[in-house]
Structure 1
Amino acid sequence: MQTANLFNDHTFSKKDVLLLHGIDNYNRDDLDLLKEVRENGNPDAILSICVSTTSACNIRCWYCYALGNKKRNPRQLTVEEYRNLIDQAVDLGARTMIVCGDGEPTYDPALTDIVRHAVSRELMPVIVTNGTIMGNDRVSKHLHGLDGRELTRFLSDSGASLLVKLETLDPKLYESIVNVRGAWEKFEAGVDRMMEAGFGDTWEQEDGTYTRISFTGIATKENVDSVPTMKQWARDHNGQFICKVPSPIGGALDQAATKLFPPAEVESVRTLIDNYTDKRETLTPIVLDGDKCMTCLAWHLGPVITEEGYYVECYTATEATFGNVREKSLSQLLKEKVKGTDWDNPCPIKDRLYVQLTQKMQEQQKAEEVICTG
């Protein structure tokens, strides 16, 4: 596939962006103030809290960083522990709560309680979801006591924003990527209900046009040629559109040779899709991205807490932990683990993973050369 020939019609400019409520509200002044507060003796100051909920998931995307772990975790934080974590985060300055993790957040029966408490503390909830439960009344009723339409309306009435996974508009390819038959029908029904509930409504503020829905996907050899079409589809639904290169970890490594772009091509692919994606990374506020001061809510602006309570680098980097909220306060954990000040890198974790993949491929190539010459 010749990626250089895929994007000849640059229909959209970077001025044609939509801002997502809950993430893109942050600006350079917020970042500068956060830096100042931290430098003046408050290293535990934050603007966001990222929480992982259930590991359970109803789809099996081949590139998932947690593909081998899709069952419920018996050691998951209790609702009361989530509430306590939210309280601590708000006291430290958090204004946004990102709900993501190893599984599908809407498959956590505790989600509605977590969202209610966050809203009661004036946190803006942003839920990452594949959206299929909104189109599956049976499952939604079983997990939440609400059918799919009622669950969607609850999230909308709570002021939440949604980050909805969008890999392709081809039903057959979609179900190949998520490895579940019938998933496309549920996804379509879910998106219709999101629009019905008002997630596609937009409004103007001084810094731009806001929405409460973002469609996010990854660019691989399978779907990269449909990126312009997906951007248009997202706009037809008044949604932000984010397309990025995947993290080379978990399930993605098993398909690296056939579906991922080689590390040497990643930057050129990023350049191509940059004409269509509203931002390079999901949790980077657009204003900071455009100001070339790219910052991540899960790296710079606040911590990521796993479903077992561990403070980790990122949702995709959990191998190193910096303590547990069951053992220490959030303030203590933040003070003990002060991250670097690489404020200009939107995703240091992903870049590090690509460096590691490059090194691994080079080592494999050398080993093969030794075998061939031996």
Structure 2
Amino acid sequence: MQTAKLFNDHTFSKRDVLLLQGIDNYNREDLDILKEVRENGKPDAILSICVSTTSACNIRCWYCYALGNKKRNPQQLTVEEYRDLIDQAVDLGARTMIVCGDGEPTYDPALLDIVKHAVSRELMPVIVTNGTIMGNDRVSKHLHGLDGRDLTQYLSDVGASLLVKLETLDPALYESIVNVRGAWQKFEAGVERMIDAGFSRTWEQEDGTYTRLSFTGIATKENVESVPAMKQWARDRNAQFICKVPSPIGGALDQAETKLFPPAEVEQVRSLIDHYTDKRETLTPIVLDGDKCMTCLAWHLGPVITEEGYYVECYTSTDAKFGTVREKSLSQLLLDKAKGTDWDNPCPIKDRLYVQLTQKMQQKPQAEEVICTS
């Protein structure tokens, strides 16, 4: 793979990582305590809650795991139901709330009410966003009654952290990826407002340097050459940088042969980008044993709840539903579908998807096989 030569200059080492408030605060002691609590009468104990808000989104990224689902879901939880879910999660031990889902959280008029209640219960909100609405005053005012600058400042003032999607620094390629003309200008404006609002201020703690701003993206044939530049761009803004291989699901599957690296090359790509990414997966707070086990806020530390209230495996794996908070308490759902407390059991979802992709590609006639020459 020719991209290997791009990564010979290892500008960054793992000593240079930035930590994100709300995700990277957890340490081995927290995990040991959680395991002990679960094994001694509280198997429903958690440290995090991952919630999905609206299915609607203002951009159309080709790799999105929910590419065909961009409209508001009339079955979405009400604000009162989100508040009740938050209360239950806090009672079970949650300290962080990840806000993500099939759409764009800042596109949800209920977002500020949800965040406000979470903060009132001392949950640390971490919001996954494409950042463009923060740079779009018209849409922000329509949704939240605040312009983009005031929306950004509000989220900063309540102590939220941001995980901002970043796939490239090339404006034309960015708009090709998100399939919306003019989106780059709004993204740039949104990022500038994040900086102005204080998201990129860093501070020292015993375990490292923290920030409330992270840029996260995927490595594909389109953008892998710019990974080092994206890392530097993020660092210039005092932001964490996460780059990973995409989950081969949803829209990404439709582009698997042209834009994704073949499954046989995934580990090599991971090794290359490892020199630049602060960690391999977005929701991993701590690696316990090399790369053999990476804890995950959505797998080990707490549940993922969809916008309809279903308990599912992950944001990217929603086919298997384990019940709904509209019918059972969060505690009962966790007891019914207890996740393993063995920290030697990493999340299997992404590797499982790549196995499925390998099988799919092997089933194609030999003449149709695609050989990666990038």
TM-score (norm 1): 0.96
Q: Distance in 1 between matches of 2:364 and 2:74?
A: 38
Cα deviation digits, residues 29-79 of structure 1 (max 9, x gap): 101111111111211000000000000000000000000000000000000
Shift of 1:3: 2.0
In the alignment, structure 1 residue 331 sits paired with structure 2 residue 331: yes
How far apart, in 1, do the equivalents of 2:368 and 2:116 lie?
56
Unaligned regions of 5+ residues in structure 1, if any? 370-374
Task: Determine the structure 2 residue equivalent to 1:69.
Answer: 69
Shift of 1:244: 0.2
1:201 aligns with 2:201: yes
Matches within 5 A, 1:251-290: 251-286=251-286, 288=288
Cα deviation, 1:297-335, whole Å, max 9, x if unaligned, reads 001100000000000000000000000000000000000
Q: 1:125: Cα distance to partner?
A: 0.1
Aligned to 2:353: 353
Aligned length: 369
Q: Cα deviations across residues 81-110 of structure 1 (Å, max 9, x unaligned)?
A: 000000000000000000000000000000
- Show the counterpart of 1:150: 150
Give the aligned partner of residue 29 of structure 1: 29
* AA of the residue aligned to 2:135: G
State the alpha-carbon separation in 2 of the partners of residues 157 and 170 from structure 1.
Answer: 31
Give the whole-Å Cα distance in 2 for the aligned partners of 1:242 and 1:82. 29
Distance 1:87 1:332 in 2: 15
Q: Are 1:55 and 2:48 counterparts? A: no
**Counterpart for residue 189 of structure 1:** 189
Corresponding residue for 2:167? 167
**Structure-2 change in CA distance of 1:330 and 1:198 (3 Å):** same
| Paired residue type of 2:150 | E
Q: Does 1:309 align with 2:309?
A: yes
Partner Cα separation in structure 1 for residue 287 and residue 360 of structure 2: 35
SS in 1 for 2:299: coil
Q: Given residue 308 of structure 1, which amino acid in structure 2 is its aligned partner?
A: E
Per-residue CA deviations over 1:121-166 (Å, capped at 9, x if unaligned) read: 0000000000001100000000000000000000000100000000
**Contact conserved, 1:171 with 1:184, CA < 8 A, in 2?**
yes
Measure how far apart 1:356 and its partner are: 1.0
Task: Give the drift of 1:341.
Answer: 4.3
Q: Which amino acid aligns with 1:121?
A: R
C-alpha distance 367-228 of structure 1, shift in aligned 2 (>3 A): closer
Whether contact under 8 Å (1:281, 1:346) holds in the other structure is no
What residue ranges of structure 2 are gaps of 5+ in the alignment? 370-374
Question: What corresponds to 2:235 in structure 1?
Answer: 235
Please, what TM-score do these two structures have when normalized by structure 2?
Answer: 0.96
Deviations 1:216-250 (A, max 9, x none): 00000000000000000000000000000000000
CA separation in 2, counterparts of 1:334 and 1:158?
29
Q: Give the C-alpha shift of residue 292 in structure 1.
A: 6.2
8 Å CA contact 1:27, 1:287 repeated in 2: no
Alignment-mate amino acid for residue 46 of structure 1: I
Rate the CA distance shift 1:8–1:308 in 2: closer, same or farther, 3 A: same
Q: Is the 8 A contact 1:279 1:286 kept in 2?
A: no
CA-atom RMSD in angstroms: 1.5
Identical columns (%): 89
